[in-house]
Structure 1
Amino acid sequence: MVDSIYRIASALESARVITMDAAVIASSKLGETSYTTYSKSITPEQLRHLLNSRNPREIKDGMKRIISIMSSGETFIDAESYFADVVKNIISNDAKVKKMVCIYLLRYAEKDPDLALLSVNSIQKAFSDVDPEIRSSSIKALSDMKIPSLFPVVLYILKKAVNDPAEVVRSSVAFAMLKLYREQGQEVEEELKLLLQELLSDASPLVISAAIVVFRECFSQHLEWLHGHYRYYCQIMRELDLWAQESMVDLLVLYCKTYLPRPIILDVSAKTGNQRSIPMPNKFNEIPFPVYDVINNPDLSLFLECLKPLVHSFNPSVILSCSNAFYQLATPMQFKESGFPQALVRTVVSTDSIGVKISLLQTILLFSFLDSSLMLPYIKKFFVLPSDDTKVAGLKLKILSNLINEFNVEVIVDQLKFHISTSHSSELVISAANTLAVCGQLSGRWESHVMKWFINHMETSKLPNAVLDSYVNVIRLLNPTRHLRIIIKLSEVLESQKVFEDNVRAGIVWLFGEIAAVEYRICPDVLRKLIPGFSSEGPETRCQILMLSAKLLSHEIDTFKEQNEDMEYDIDNSRIGQMYKAVAYLAEFDEEYDIRDRARCFSSLFYTGKFEIATLLLQAPKPSPGVHPSSSHSSEENLYPHETDWNSLGLDSSAQKFHKIIPWNDEIFSEKDDIRMPVPLKDYSRYKKSFSSDSFASRNMIKGTSSISSNDMITENNRHSEFSPAQGKKYRLQTLEEFFSDIPAKQPIKAKKKIVTGVSSDDDDDDDDDDTNGEEDSSTEETDGEGDSDDSSSSSE
């Protein structure tokens, strides 16, 4: 009985083991998303056993687990500790294992360079592999080994692989050149220049995408290299990689500014015969004609036209680069018709990245500052949302201030008042208040409305000091002398709100001192109410009370002199003079030396009769406080963008550098020869004879014939191929046994004595290169028809 139970238990245990092994095999084959979770159950010792196994399936399974650990970022197993176990599998015959080893080397080769050197020979052998993906991965792995002793080897490999028939390999060559240039710099500059010029002449958009990125970072000063490729690059712009499109657009903008003539602006608003034409101005918004037409160079028109399809790109960098291209090379009318203003707004709304939103909004802010009509149709997209970041909301408010006009001011004012009332961020409330001040400057009606709303909000709401200070600055900006009833209400707020901070109360007192010349009657009463609490006020408010009393006395003296030219002004018998003496007396004992010095200075002027000097000091016009930086444009004599304008807009340094105006090269002269005449391209696709082209190319590489010169690209290929339809030969269908066998079975051939009277050297070379197909070709010729059989029989005779 016990033996039976033991045998049953053993059978169940064996079944469990078999089931687990089957699960391992299934997971390694299927590669499902649950594979990472399953890999967590393996121990470090088991993983090392898989990597060192002689079973190819177990090695593949172990490599999958390693890659899974690397990609998931899990720390339960240290993938770096298996470096030696992984690298030795580079010699595996499995292509997938080789790719995974190369991926592993991309991350960890630099951390253990001595051990990584052991795999160099095996990686070099992989350059002759049939699979182009393996050749590409080998180049990536070798170039990522930042070991100085390997740099000559990498350069040698790149020189051989630059003419590889597979475009993915040539693309990897370009990025390997970039890594080598970053490490070696000028030491390999001359060799890399030659390689890069070959890649720039490639016909594949994938290769050009990689080459143009390298060109922009390493050799952007050699724009003359683009002469013969300019028109072809414009044609394939849509086929390039998304990130290469950005680099290509930026480079071609610089190329157009350097080698293409400036567009001509033609005035079409004038009568016939009086049309004027001028070169396109440096400023984006400086065209003096209300209606105009643009005459572009054909190559410039070609570039601008090839950018228009990119308006539907999902890459924000491409949208930014194309918008900058129209900003640099076109007029506002052309920019508006291109659709990129709408694309900028659409991308802002659709993206979730804060950094991308900020970059796009800075660009929109610049364009709205230069020409508000570009962004006016999309004004609702710039309303502040509760989910907006602080900087994003601030940029939106600045954009709104540039788009305010008589037709949309009411909607914008309602939005701003709601945002000010509900927002909990002082910074955003201040930005919204500044934008509301711009709305008030539109007309007298809106000025009165905005001032009244601010004063009511100050009286009814408990606001932070910074917000109250910004409110006072806004009221100062909105010319309060034209709205005295509202200012009287502000004096009531000053008396009732004793909790205002020192700077806020000082600003309100200063405001009454400024309107003393316009409405003298209300200011003495304000001063009378402030004198009893002079000692309890803050230092800034005490200083402004002293200034208010001195200004009132100066205005009264000037009024008295105008009415009584022959009489002397008596301070002791004047009500204003008595209040000034009271304030000056209190100020003489103030703890702030600035207040004491001001009191002595003003008293010496008044008591010695130097009233003209006091008038100049106290009644000089003051500049209006700047509320919104973008409300003032640069002067006419300065070329835009001036440095102060950049700073006032609030653009960061990267945005300023990106949108800096590139000057046109006006020294371009007309040439008889077209410097942009297209040059022959290196089209490797013509070497693909059939579906077996990869094996054909790899066979040539193994024989050492993979190097393809530029002459071979231009001249017609006269090599024989067994699958070429141009030779007049038919492909013989194979049986299943022949298709799956390593060596195709040979057909029985009659023994014939063949005498060749004359054979060209090219035919000899071809026969030598393809000895294995000679008999098959002859048998095929016999079955082609009677003419072929007659020829063969005659030659045998």
Structure 2
Amino acid sequence: MVDSISQIASALESAKAITLEAAAVASSKLGESSYTHYSKNLSTQQLRNLLNSRNSREVKDAMKRILSILASNDTSIDIEEFFSDVVKNISSDDIKVKRMVYLYLLRYAEKDQNLALLSVNAIQKTLGDSNPDVRAFSLKALSDIKIPSLTPIVLLSVRKLIVDPSPVVRSEVLYTLMKLYRWKRNELEEDIIDLYTGLLCDSDPKVISSVLVVFKECFPDRLELLHGHYRYFCQILKKLDSWAQSYLIETLIRYCKRYIIKPMVVDISSSDRSSNCVPLPDKYNQIMFPVYELRMDKDLELFISSLKILRFSTNPVVIISCCNAFFQLTTPNDFRNSGFPDVLTNIAIASSNVGVKSLLLQSILLYSKLDSTLFQQFNREFLPFPSDDTTIVCLKLEILATLINDTNVEFILRELKKIVKHQKNEKIIIVASQTMASCGKLSVTLESHIMKWFIKVIETEKSGLTNNILDCFVNIIRELVSANPRRHLKFILKLADLLTTNHVRADNARAGIIWLFGEIAGIEFKVCPDIVRILINGFVDEGPESRRQLILLSAKLVSYEYDISNENSNGSYNVEDSRVMKMFQYLAYLGQFDDNYGVRDMVRYLTSLFDSGKYEIAALLLQAPKPNIWDKPILDGDSDFVEDTEDIDHDLITYHSYIPWDVSDDVIDSKTLDMREPLPLKDYNKFKKSFSSENYVDTSNSFVRDNASEEIPTDTTSTHSPSVTRNSFTSSTGKKYKLQSLDEFFSDVPAMRSTKKYNSLPKKKKIVTVVESSSEGETDSSEDDETSEDESETSSSGLESSED
């Protein structure tokens, strides 16, 4: 009974195993791995058996398991011990297996170089594979195996495949040259440059894209290599891939700056244009003519015109590169009329990627700081949305600050007030407030309006304002007042009320207001002593910055009082009777014992001046005029755009920095020598060996010679060989092909000939290809015979070979 049960259990286990195997095979037929569900439980020996299997499906599953372990850093199985079992599968016919073996080989080749070298021969054989993807991947695998002894083999393979008819392979050749240049630059630099120079003449845009990548990585300063290819590169710019377009634009900008004469700016508002003609200024926005046009070299014009089609590119990097080209090589009018500011704005607003959007907005901010008219018409587009990221909102607000003018200031100011009132993000409120301050420099009326509005917000919403926001508001008011204190005395007095009523509690904000009273002491001295008198009682409760500024304010009042007394009493100043001096001495006494070293240092510095009687020196130090915050330097092309662009990436500023023209005298003097004369292109399509209608016959019944690309007319009056007829042609391998009718094709099928049904079929003509021998002799006599019912000869194939 027990034996019967064990036999039944064994049979069930066998059936389960068979069922699992069948399910695995079925799943592999549907495109899934046959060992997906239980490959993780394979033992080391089972995995080795799969690698040594003759079934390519099992080898593929084993390699997938190996690579999954490799990718996950699983230490449960040491996959290095399978090196020999894996590498021997490099000769597999399955291209997927080959790729996986290559990936494994690249990881462990350096650890076992002797065993890895055994696979080199198999890799070299695949360099001649009919599949160009296999050839390209084989060269990649060969070049990635960093074994010093393989360098000559890799270089030999490159020389062999550099004329490969497939652009995919030639592109891989370029990347291999880049690896050799990085690895063996000192030894192989001359050979690499020779091979690279030959690939510069390639006619395929896909290969040129790779050429530009290698040029950027290996030869960025060898601009002289581009002389004979400049015009062709400009012509095929639109055919390159997006990243290659960006690389080419950056490279040609530097090339134009070095080898093309600077354009001329012509004043078209005057009648004598020849006299009013100057070279393009090195500073972008400092052209002296109100109306002008740009005259440039024909090669520079070719480059500029080739950029215009790229306005329709969907790659933001290409758009930024084109904008940089117009910024570097043309005038503001040309840049504005090119349409790229519109495209840059549209892509920046429409992009959903925060990183890309930030990059584009930063570029717009840099350009708008140089010339706000480029984006003046898009001021509404830069209003922030509730869904925008904080960084994006801040960049939009900074752009708006550069676009403010008399026509849009009311609209922008109204929108900024809504943001400050209803926004919850502290950083956005601060940036929006600073943008409002930019509106104040347009007119005195706006200055007063903005200060009044900020003071009202401080009074009504003091509990809802954080210290940083309050500090920002006070600083804005202080900056607007300091531009012309005498004009805004009433707002200064209002700030005094904010101090005394404790509406402003933040230490930095209170310190800023106290400092402001020190600046207006020379204008309205009578107000300031009362501020010190009121605040001196709560000195110990003030913050460290406020205490320091209060001591400084009292010292300034002493210096101003000294000047006033000298004017009234001819040089006598009574220190003992001065209440201002007594307030300073009291504050200095308290400051000597302050726990903040900045306050103590301030006290020692000021008391040393007054105790020694050096009031004149104190007046010079304390009453020194402060620069106006609105008197900022005009930006130009030579500057690093702005100094206060901490929100803009430094690399982006470097990328957009203006490159000066540096054309040598030799280039200027050699006007008769055309250094950019195009070199002959290399068309590798003539080396194609594939059998197709494109290589052998065209739609106009013309025949093309393989390897020569010459059309052979099919006119009946031609004097070609008799074998070249309308129904025959010869391949590059020497085989002759002819066209055969349907009846001729089935003439050797006895089963069909012996039936009445076949005899009743209509005699329709159908073109069938038949292979003949490579000789030029007579064709088989059956070619001209009609199919009949009495034929007795049979053949197992429908393809007939001509007899020599």
Q: TM-score range by the shorter chain?
A: 0.7 to 0.9
- Taking the aligned partners of 2:360 and 2:229, their CA distance within structure 1 comes to 31
SS in 1 for 2:335: helix
Structure whose residues are more often helix by fraction = 1
**What RMSD over aligned residues (CA atoms) do the two structures have, in Å?**
4.2
For residue 331 of structure 1, report the CA deviation from its aligned partner: 1.5
- Taking the aligned partners of 1:632 and 1:394, their CA distance within structure 2 comes to 21
The question of whether the paired residues in 1 share the 8 Å contact of 2:311 and 2:339 is answered with yes
For residue 335 of structure 1, report the CA deviation from its aligned partner: 1.7
Match of 1:792 in 2: none
Query: Which has the higher mean CA deviation after the structures are superposed, 416-425 or 512-521?
Result: 416-425
User: Where does the alignment leave 5 or more consecutive residues of structure 2 unmatched?
Assistant: 697-705, 713-722, 746-770, 785-804
The question of whether the paired residues in 2 share the 8 Å contact of 1:587 and 1:599 is answered with no
- Taking the aligned partners of 2:733 and 2:97, their CA distance within structure 1 comes to 40
The question of whether the paired residues in 1 share the 8 Å contact of 2:51 and 2:63 is answered with yes
Q: How do residues 547-566 of structure 1 correspond to structure 2 at under 5 angstroms?
A: 547-559=552-564, 562=567, 564=568
The letter of the residue matching 1:477 is E
SS in 2 for 1:483: helix
- Taking the aligned partners of 1:620 and 1:14, their CA distance within structure 2 comes to 100
Q: Deviations over 1:483-542 (max 9, x none)?
A: 222222221221222872433322211111212233334323222211222343344323
The letter of the residue matching 2:622 is L
- Taking the aligned partners of 1:186 and 1:17, their CA distance within structure 2 comes to 61
Q: Deviations over 1:761-790 (max 9, x none)?
A: xxxxxxxxxxx97555423499999xxxxx
Residue 601 (structure 2) pairs with residue 594 (structure 1)? yes
Match of 1:752 in 2: none
Q: How do residues 191-590 of structure 1 correspond to structure 2 at under 5 angstroms?
A: 191-271=191-271, 276-385=276-385, 388-422=388-422, 426-459=426-459, 460-462=461-463, 463-479=465-481, 481=485, 482-497=487-502, 500-559=505-564, 562=567, 564=568, 568=572, 570=574, 576=580, 579-580=583-584, 582-583=586-587, 586=590
- TM-score, normalising length from structure 2? 0.79
- Taking the aligned partners of 2:658 and 2:709, their CA distance within structure 1 comes to 41
- Taking the aligned partners of 1:465 and 1:150, their CA distance within structure 2 comes to 67
Which of 662, 665, 668 does residue 665 from structure 1 map onto?
662
Q: How do residues 74-223 of structure 1 correspond to structure 2 at under 5 angstroms?
A: 82-106=82-106, 109=109, 113-223=113-223
For residue 611 of structure 1, report the CA deviation from its aligned partner: 5.7
Which of 732, 741, 746 does residue 738 from structure 2 map onto?
732
For residue 544 of structure 1, report the CA deviation from its aligned partner: 2.4
Match of 1:654 in 2: 651
The question of whether the paired residues in 1 share the 8 Å contact of 2:441 and 2:447 is answered with yes
The letter of the residue matching 2:676 is R
- Taking the aligned partners of 2:92 and 2:58, their CA distance within structure 1 comes to 12
The question of whether the paired residues in 2 share the 8 Å contact of 1:413 and 1:439 is answered with yes
Query: Which has the higher mean CA deviation after the structures are superposed, 528-537 or 11-20?
Result: 11-20
The letter of the residue matching 1:361 is L
For residue 364 of structure 1, report the CA deviation from its aligned partner: 1.8
For residue 153 of structure 1, report the CA deviation from its aligned partner: 1.5
The letter of the residue matching 1:346 is N
**Residues 250, 646 of structure 1: alpha-carbon distance in 2 compared, 3 angstrom cutoff:** farther
Q: Deviations over 1:404-463 (max 9, x none)?
A: 222222333344344444555544443333322212222222212222233333342344
**Residues 36, 438 of structure 1: alpha-carbon distance in 2 compared, 3 angstrom cutoff:** farther
The letter of the residue matching 1:779 is E
Q: Deviations over 1:540-563 (max 9, x none)?
A: 32332233234334444544555x
For residue 475 of structure 1, report the CA deviation from its aligned partner: 1.9
- Taking the aligned partners of 2:49 and 2:156, their CA distance within structure 1 comes to 37
The question of whether the paired residues in 2 share the 8 Å contact of 1:452 and 1:486 is answered with yes
- Taking the aligned partners of 1:184 and 1:350, their CA distance within structure 2 comes to 46
The question of whether the paired residues in 2 share the 8 Å contact of 1:689 and 1:724 is answered with no
SS in 2 for 1:87: helix
The letter of the residue matching 1:656 is I
The question of whether the paired residues in 1 share the 8 Å contact of 2:511 and 2:545 is answered with yes
- Taking the aligned partners of 1:212 and 1:689, their CA distance within structure 2 comes to 28
- Taking the aligned partners of 1:458 and 1:228, their CA distance within structure 2 comes to 68
SS in 1 for 2:293: strand
The letter of the residue matching 1:665 is D
SS in 1 for 2:657: coil
Q: Deviations over 1:75-133 (max 9, x none)?
A: 99887765443322111123343234334445554565454333111101111212111
Q: In percent, how many aligned pairs have the same letter?
A: 48
The letter of the residue matching 2:477 is I
User: Where does the alignment leave 5 or more consecutive residues of structure 1 unmatched?
Assistant: 697-705, 740-771, 786-797
The question of whether the paired residues in 2 share the 8 Å contact of 1:433 and 1:471 is answered with yes
Q: Which has the higher contact order (CA 8 A, sep 6+)?
A: 1
For residue 193 of structure 1, report the CA deviation from its aligned partner: 0.7
For residue 155 of structure 1, report the CA deviation from its aligned partner: 1.2
The letter of the residue matching 1:655 is L
Q: Deviations over 1:364-419 (max 9, x none)?
A: 22211111111223334433445555544443333222122222223333443444
**Residues 779, 131 of structure 1: alpha-carbon distance in 2 compared, 3 angstrom cutoff:** farther
Which of 618, 625, 638 does residue 621 from structure 1 map onto?
625
- TM-score, normalising length from structure 1? 0.80
Q: Deviations over 1:339-386 (max 9, x none)?
A: 222333333334455443443333222211111111223334433445
SS in 1 for 2:442: coil
- Taking the aligned partners of 1:329 and 1:10, their CA distance within structure 2 comes to 84
- Taking the aligned partners of 1:233 and 1:331, their CA distance within structure 2 comes to 24
- Taking the aligned partners of 2:48 and 2:566, their CA distance within structure 1 comes to 104
SS in 2 for 1:129: coil
Q: Deviations over 1:225-253 (max 9, x none)?
A: 21221111111112212222221111111
Query: Which has the higher mean CA deviation after the structures are superposed, 75-84 or 229-238?
Result: 75-84
The question of whether the paired residues in 2 share the 8 Å contact of 1:311 and 1:319 is answered with yes
Match of 1:762 in 2: none
The question of whether the paired residues in 2 share the 8 Å contact of 1:133 and 1:169 is answered with yes
**Residues 686, 388 of structure 1: alpha-carbon distance in 2 compared, 3 angstrom cutoff:** same
For residue 660 of structure 1, report the CA deviation from its aligned partner: 2.6
For residue 196 of structure 1, report the CA deviation from its aligned partner: 0.5
Q: Deviations over 1:719-778 (max 9, x none)?
A: x99956999997324899x99xxxxxxxxxxxxxxxxxxxxxxxxxxxxxxxx9755542
SS in 2 for 1:732: strand
Query: Which has the higher mean CA deviation after the structures are superposed, 612-621 or 161-170?
Result: 612-621
- Taking the aligned partners of 1:245 and 1:77, their CA distance within structure 2 comes to 46
For residue 602 of structure 1, report the CA deviation from its aligned partner: 5.4
